[in-house]
Chain A
Amino acid sequence: MVDLAPAADVAAQEPAPRIASPLPLTESFAARATLVGLALLFLVVFLILPLVVVFAEAFRRGIGAYFAALVEPAALAAIRLTLMTALIVVPLNAAFGIAAAWAITKFEFPAKNLLITLIDLPFSVSPVIGGMVFVLLFGLQGLFGPWLDARGITIVFAVPGIIIATLFVTLPFVARELIPLMQKQGTQQEEAALMLGANGWQMLLRVTLPNIKWGLLYGILLCNGRAMGEFGAVAVVSGHIIGRTNTMPLHVEVLYNDYAFAAAFAVASLLTLMALATLALKVWLEWRAGPRLARTRLH
């Protein structure tokens, strides 16, 4: 038998040779200019312009009004709620993602493919439906509603509902990132750790996690971005109680509907900044982890 794995690793560490032009370009200058121009136009209209508009609108009434919109109690509450949701949801889904990827890649059991499909469910179902499911389950008219109500527990139109809906929507991110990575790595290093006397925790902390850390961080970033920005599912379960169950995206909508454009865009710009920061972190991670991560990604 030939050992291919180490060779592949070595290949992964060498930077790919930079090729100036991957194709022999034969198109005329006009054709090239049109194609590049179209691509640029598309980029400007659909990506850059909206970004500029968000910030331009946010600062339209001056920097004072901008910050006033952000420190206003309802905005602060929305920011707080969004951050809190992300803070609760991301670690939970990271733990779930690790556990699910672990189970799927390191063990053989029946209905494994079913589990993989189920993990993907939140990706294929519209978030609005995701939200509605929880209303139907936990709302007053819902399946568990009366039972919960009798014990004074409110889930729908309250913070727990927002957290549950966000959990649902962001469930696949970490697991999706880790499954292909861990599948590729196999179980030999874990077995080696066990043979050397490591217990389960030592194996997880010293062998498994260091091997998946870049993939895990990447999954967490994606999960975090979505958790902060989720609108549809949260909109259904939130009930839009200003200052209590409004997350940032919902707050933007409320302000916008009230014609408070500058304030709406101020909050939106903050959300955009968070997204840009996440994106920058993602690029940095990809650069750090190199092609190893990029190759195993599915989306």
Chain B
Amino acid sequence: MRIEVKDLTKRLQSTLVLDRVNLEIREREFLGLLGPSGSGKTTLLRILAGLEFPDSGHVLLDNRDALTLGFEERQIGFVFQHYALFNHMSVFENIAFGLKVRSRRTRPSQPEIEKRVMELLRLVQLRELESRFPAQLSGGQRQRVALARALAIDPKVLLLDEPFGALDAKVRVELRRSLRDIHDATGLTTVFVTHDQEEALDLADRVAVVNRGRIEQIGTPTEIYEAPRTRFVFDFLGRTNAFSCTIENGHVRLGDRVLAVEGMPDGPADAFVRPHDIVLARATNPERTGDAMLPGTAVVRFISALGQRASVELLYERKLIEAESSREKLADLGLQVGDRCTICLRLPRIYSKVEAEKGASEHAQRPRLRMRRRPRAA
């Protein structure tokens, strides 16, 4: 089913939860709504489900106005964040609920219901647990039951609210895969909400990044990660280093380079760089390997090496910089805590501060450099 959201606006008291949201979800698409808590992503999902209503705007399901449709006509399966399983019913009864509450005309016969429930139990790999009660299940199993229950009514759309939020890391990755498989097998249109960027980028066909009631960017995971359109998207998708710079006549000077920037007003700006795009070299043997080399040197504060990756915390012009490289590369450089090194920036992205101050989305955009103490590398 195709979903169209047009100019959706919703206020709660004085807060604007959704601000003229436009979104098109394609047939059979797997879409992730990604955003920090309070960004309005769950409200958007609940409006699609019919659990909440917007102040203005439209939701179209296959060109039909969804806001006038009842739950049954919407044909939507919903998986709640905490699953909302019926505690007094067995797994079987939970899954059969949506079929049993149908009016006599459309209700399948008892053997048909049993057959359908068994099919679903097989699909979510819970065949032996049909007579258990929710309290007797693990978090991952509960999640699977919630999924099977939502699928029992043969929905055209599956909506999931933070589907993996309450699970531990290992189960989470496992369930991600099986959700993707189920999506591919059933031909549903699936929309899920998450605040975990890795999850969204890993799972979805397309990701919509939501911030303060607006969709900041929508695109494939690669598009979003490689070309974040706004400073918020860049910052939210991963760890960020910010360097102040100034735009003059459509150009910006960054270290020893002048880069052309298009369509940005003159004035103060930031260059955002991911930790793995910061290239280090020994101060005694400076090497130019990036798009721009910063003047002066930085001091190594901490080194933490875990597995293949090594992360280095540097102090540069009284600011903390986070760099990341492979462990071997760092070993080749032979950098130690307290050493001086030069910094080259690869793929910097420039975001104007002028625009940010005009727009409403300035304050979630501080670079997320943490001052946490790390174990020193031996």
Number of interface residues of A (CB under 8 A): 24
Contact: B101 with A5, CB < 8 Å? no
Whole-angstrom distance from the CB of B139 to the nearest CB of chain A? Answer: 7
Give chain A's interface secondary structure class: helix
Chain A residues 192 to 241 lying within 8 A of chain B, measured CB to CB, are 192-199, 202, 206-207, 210-211
Contact: B165 with A6, CB < 8 Å? no
- Complex: how many Å from CA A114 to CA B102? 39
Whole-angstrom distance from the CB of A7 to the nearest CB of chain B? Answer: 9
Binds A, one of B59-67, B78-86, B213-221, B279-287: B78-86
Residue from B71, B142, B153, B165 whose CB has the most chain A CB atoms within 10 Å: B71
A192 touching B78 in the complex, CB below 8 Å, given contacts A197-B98, A197-B102, A198-B101: yes
Q: Give the nearest-CB partner of A199 in chain B.
A: B101
Residue from A6, A10, A192, A202 whose CB has the most chain B CB atoms within 10 Å: A192
Contact: B82 with A6, CB < 8 Å? yes
B367 located at the interface, meaning its Cβ lies under 8 Å from any Cβ of chain A in the complex: no
**1/0 per residue A8-44: CB within 8 Å of B?**
0110010000000000000000000000000000000
Chain B residues 136 to 167 lying within 8 A of chain A, measured CB to CB, are 139, 142, 149-150, 152-153, 162, 165-166
- Complex: how many Å from CA A180 to CA B213? 33
Q: Which residues of B contact A207 (CB under 8 A)?
A: 86
A45 located at the interface, meaning its Cβ lies under 8 Å from any Cβ of chain B in the complex: no
- Complex: how many Å from CA A91 to CA B85? 30
Whole-angstrom distance from the CB of A254 to the nearest CB of chain B? Answer: 48
Whole-angstrom distance from the CB of B271 to the nearest CB of chain A? Answer: 33
Contact: B97 with A10, CB < 8 Å? no
Contact: A188 with B101, CB < 8 Å? no
Q: Which residues of A contact B139 (CB under 8 A)?
A: 3, 6
Complex partner residue of B51 from A195, A198, A199, A211, CB under 8 angstroms? A195
Q: Which residues of B contact A195 (CB under 8 A)?
A: 49-51, 71, 76-78, 150
- Complex: how many Å from CA A211 to CA B88? 7
**1/0 per residue B165-190: CB within 8 Å of A?**
11000000000000000000000000
Contact: A6 with B135, CB < 8 Å? yes
Contact: A3 with B166, CB < 8 Å? yes
Complex partner residue of B80 from A6, A9, A191, A206, CB under 8 angstroms? A191
- Complex: how many Å from CA A210 to CA B76? 25
Q: Give the nearest-CB partner of B37 in chain A.
A: A1
Complex partner residue of A189 from B81, B86, B150, CB under 8 angstroms? B86
Whole-angstrom distance from the CB of A143 to the nearest CB of chain B? Answer: 40
- Complex: how many Å from CA A5 to CA B81? 11
Contact: A3 with B165, CB < 8 Å? yes
Q: Which residues of A contact B84 (CB under 8 A)?
A: 188-189, 191-192
Q: Give the nearest-CB partner of B138 in chain A.
A: A6
B72 located at the interface, meaning its Cβ lies under 8 Å from any Cβ of chain A in the complex: yes
Q: Give the nearest-CB partner of A192 in chain B.
A: B84
A197 touching B86 in the complex, CB below 8 Å, given contacts A1-B81, A13-B135: no
B87 located at the interface, meaning its Cβ lies under 8 Å from any Cβ of chain A in the complex: yes
Whole-angstrom distance from the CB of A201 to the nearest CB of chain B? Answer: 10
Contact: A197 with B153, CB < 8 Å? yes
Contact: B71 with A194, CB < 8 Å? yes
19 new A-B contacts at CB < 8 Å, known A188-B84, A192-B84, A195-B76: A1-B81, A1-B166, A3-B81, A5-B82, A189-B86, A189-B87, A191-B51, A191-B78, A192-B78, A192-B85, A192-B149, A193-B97, A194-B51, A195-B51, A195-B71, A197-B72, A197-B102, A198-B97, A198-B101
A residues in contact (CB < 8 Å) with B: 1-3, 5-6, 9-10, 13, 188-189, 191-199, 202, 206-207, 210-211
A-B interface, 4 closest residue pairs, ranked by CB to CB distance from nearest: A3-B166, A196-B98, A188-B84, A192-B84
B residues in contact (CB < 8 Å) with A: 37, 49-51, 71-72, 76-78, 80-82, 84-88, 97-98, 101-102, 134-135, 139, 142, 149-150, 152-153, 162, 165-166
Pick 9 A–B contacts, CB within 8 A, sort by A: A2-B166, A9-B135, A10-B135, A192-B78, A193-B97, A196-B97, A197-B102, A197-B153, A206-B86
